[in-house]
Each structure stands twice: as C-alpha cells, then as structure tokens.
Amino acid sequence: MPIKRIIAGLNEFHDNYFVAHRELFEHLSHGQNPEVLFITCSDSRIDPFLITQSQPGDLFVIRNVGNIIPPYGRLNNGEAAGIEYAVEALGVRDVVICGHSHCGAMKGLLQIGNLAQQMPSVYEWLRYHAEPTRRLVMDNYQGYPHEKLLRITIEQNVLTQIEHLETYPIIRSKLHSNQLTLHAWIYEIETGEVFAYDAEDGKFRVIENRPFPVPNPLIAAHSA
C-alpha cells in the first residue's frame, strides 16, 4: 500500500538523511530565515525544493490549486496570512509565483462550466480568483489549438496572480522601497526547464543566468 512506502520513507529519512545533516536541523530548530517566498501549485508533479535544489529552511512555500493568490481583502484566506508573515516577519526579499505545464486547474478553468456539479469547491475557487485569466484568454485567443491555449492560460494565470499579489499593502510598501522583487515562472514538467517572464519582450524565456524579475510597477509608474 502507498502509505507503507511513505512510512518506509520516513524511517529512511530519520535513519540516514537526518543523521547526516543533524547540525542543519539543530540550527533550524532555533528559527527560520528563508530567502524566497515560493508560491506554486499543489500538483504532485512539482517540488519547489527539488527543482531549485534548495535545502530545508531556504524556501517559505505556499501551495494551492492553480498557484492562485486571491486579491487583498477577498475573504480571510491563508494565502494572505502566509504572504504577510513571509514578507514582514521573515523578511524575504524575493517572491516567486510558479505555474507549471499540464496544469489541471487551468484545464478546468478553460471548461469551468463542467466543474460546477462534479467539483463545486474547485469551481468556486477558480471562478472567484482566476476569472480575469479565463476572460482574457477567451476574448483574445479564440481559434488556438488546445495545447497552445492551455499554455497561454498557464502563463496568463501566473501574470494575473502577480497582479493580485501587488494589491497587498505589505507588497506595495516593500516594492516602493525596493526591498522586494517579484518573479513570474513556469516549470515545464517534460523538460525540467523553468521559464521566467521577460518584460522586455513580453514572453516567458528559459532561465539561464538571468532571473528576469517582474518590473516594479511603482517605479514604472513614476518614470512614465
């Protein structure tokens, strides 16, 4: 049974990895100092620590269906609490919103009417927080093949969630003082590559040596 494999993995972790890294965990027991707030999907195929080769304590992670950030003030949600805690209490200076290829949530968004009866909670989550993405895609990308349309939806959803993130007072304050940088990423499961949004040409490009941070909207507004 799968749970037996999970328990075996727990024992393997404790008897081997933990023992070999005991000093790290002793250090972590006194507090955390993550470098990045990493917001991504609950999909089992994406592991933030694996794809970034990070260690325990490096990332503060928020995961949910569709890597969605409800706009500030839209209900009392755990995402808002996590964002405030990571940015204010822990002082992270980089925030990544990372979507991924073949996202089931985005597939559902493209045919959202079919979700209402079968998965009403998923329907409500996407309808309230990803409708700007759905409308943008439906109005501007009709006639595209399904796979291309899905990729566009995945990309546009990440950019929509970046915009939602910018509605948070703590985020706007840190952006204004240049204490925070936002990043829009897409993880491609089949190639292992990660694409970042390059605002210079409005496209997602493979990350090599440049992180392609999302431009600070406050600076852009003041320089316009």
Q: Give me the residue label for tokens 């100092």.
A: 33
pLDDT tens digits for range 15-58: 999 999 999 999 999 999 999 999 999 999 999 999 999 999 99
Mean of the pLDDT values across residues 57-79?
A: 91
Number of domains in the chain: 2
Query: Do 16 and 46 fall within a single domain?
Result: no
Query: Do 24 and 110 fall within a single domain?
Result: no
Domain harbouring 122, CATH code? 3.40.1050.10
**pLDDT score for 224:** 37
- Cα 126 to the chain's mean position, in Å? 15
Instruction: Return d(Cα 54, Cα 61) in angstroms, integer.
Output: 12
**pLDDT score for 222:** 38
Query: Do 82 and 187 fall within a single domain?
Result: yes
Q: What is the reported pTM?
A: 0.92
Lowest mean pLDDT among 21-30, 114-123, 205-214: 205-214
Q: Give me the residue label for tokens 């759905």.
A: 134
Instruction: Return d(Cα 129, Cα 132) in angstroms, integer.
Output: 8
Query: Do 101 and 203 fall within a single domain?
Result: yes
Query: Do 124 and 153 fall within a single domain?
Result: yes
pLDDT tens digits for range 132-168: 999 999 999 989 999 999 999 999 999 999 999 999 9
Task: Quote the domain boundaries for residue 112.
Answer: 36-223
Query: Do 54 and 118 fall within a single domain?
Result: yes
Collapsing DSSP states into helix, strand and coil, what is residue 185?
Answer: strand
Query: Do 5 and 99 fall within a single domain?
Result: no
Query: Do 71 and 8 fall within a single domain?
Result: no
164 within 8 A of 155, measured Cβ to Cβ? no
Instruction: Return d(Cα 55, Cα 69) in angstroms, integer.
Output: 25
Backbone dihedral angles phi then psi of residue 192, each to the nearest 5 degrees: 80, 5
